[in-house]
């Protein structure tokens, strides 16, 4: 199974870029279109203005009861009604990565309630987490979300809550890229 994905920003692709905002840290070059390809960047023929890549993986923090709740509520990507998407690349600080796994989990859930907060927005928001850090990429994570236009306000509300959390004190770069299906 190929679990590598490339997000190609440029002049072609199935998603039109509506907004590209640096929430914190250095911005990226604005582009008109985004193409999502299920292949590593090394195998691409399309170049684009920039390419961000990541891979899907096993969970790191979610506990059994959370996995059960997520599976019961979440829906998959590519729903016909999900004509809106967000690509939010995130880089966390060296302080975060210097913590132990149990310290990170404590900040992520006990202090920040990331999963608990997020669960309230399922199944309207569909999500996929991509890991990039181990590929030597500029971001640690490429987070991807899909939803119907009428759930945009709910998604924005979710972002306000997460960005106010203890976990986000460790976010040193975040870009909020909003997309609409062509
Ligand atoms: C990780 C749930 C929304 C950014 C996770 C994990 C869960 C989760 C369960 C842990 C995965 C693991 O165990 O490895 C949710 C749910 C959401 C949501 C249910 C509701 C839609 C968001 C949003 C963002 C985001 C809106 C970004 C703005 C991240 C990041 C990680 C993560 C960066 C990786 C954290 C790390 O490993 O340090 N999410 N999330 N999530 N989520 Fe969310």
CATH code for position 96: 3.30.70.3420
pLDDT over threshold 90, residue 43: yes
Question: Tell me, what's the ipTM?
Answer: 0.99
**78-121, pLDDT tens digit by residue?**
999 999 999 999 999 999 999 999 999 999 999 999 999 999 99
Ligand 1 atom with the smallest distance to the CA of 125 is: 21
> What's the CA-to-centroid distance between 134 and ligand 1, angstroms?
18
The per-residue pLDDT for 47 is 86
Residue 50: the pLDDT is 98
The answer on pLDDT for 135 being more than 90 is: yes
Would you say 138 and 91 are in contact if contact means Cβ atoms under 8 Å apart? yes
pLDDT of residue 4: 98
Count of the separate structural domains present in the chain: 1
Residue 62 CA to ligand 1 centre (angstroms) = 10
User: Mean pLDDT across the stretch 31-46?
Assistant: 96
Q: Identify which of 23, 160, 143 has the alpha carbon closest to the alpha carbon of residue 85.
A: 143
Q: How confident is the model at residue 73 (pLDDT cuts 50, 70, 90)?
A: very high
- Domain containing 90 equals 4-181
Q: What is the mean pLDDT of residues 64-68?
A: 98
d(CA 25, CA 75): 32
**For ligand 1, mutation pick of 52, 61, 95, 107 (most atoms within 8 Å of CB):** 61
Predicted confidence band of residue 25 (pLDDT cuts 50, 70, 90): very high
Provide CB contacts within 8 A for 122, sequence distance 6+: 70, 73, 74, 75
Ligand 1 pocket check for 60: Cβ under 6 Å: yes
What is the residue-averaged pLDDT of the chain? Answer: 97
């Amino acid at each position: 199974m190929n679990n590598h994905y490339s997000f190609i920003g440029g002049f072609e692709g199935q998603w039109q870029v509506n907004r590209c905002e640096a929430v914190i840290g250095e911005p990226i070059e604005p582009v008109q279109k985004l193409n999502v390809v299920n292949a590593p960047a090394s195998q691409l023929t399309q170049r684009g203005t920039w390419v961000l890549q990541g891979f899907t993986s096993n969970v790191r923090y979610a506990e059994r009861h959370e996995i059960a709740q997520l599976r019961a509520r979440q829906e998959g990507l590519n729903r016909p009604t999900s004509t809106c998407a967000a690509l939010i690349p995130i880089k966390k600080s060296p302080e975060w990565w210097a913590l132990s796994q149990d310290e990170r989990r404590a900040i992520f859930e006990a202090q920040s309630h990331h999963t608990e907060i997020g669960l309230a927005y399922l199944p309207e928001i569909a999500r996929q987490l991509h890991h990039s850090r181990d590929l030597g990429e500029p971001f640690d994570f490429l987070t991807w979300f899909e939803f119907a236009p009428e759930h945009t306000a709910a998604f924005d509300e979710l972002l306000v809550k997460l960005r106010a959390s203890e976990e986000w004190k460790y976010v040193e770069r975040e870009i909020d890229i909003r997309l609409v299906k062509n």
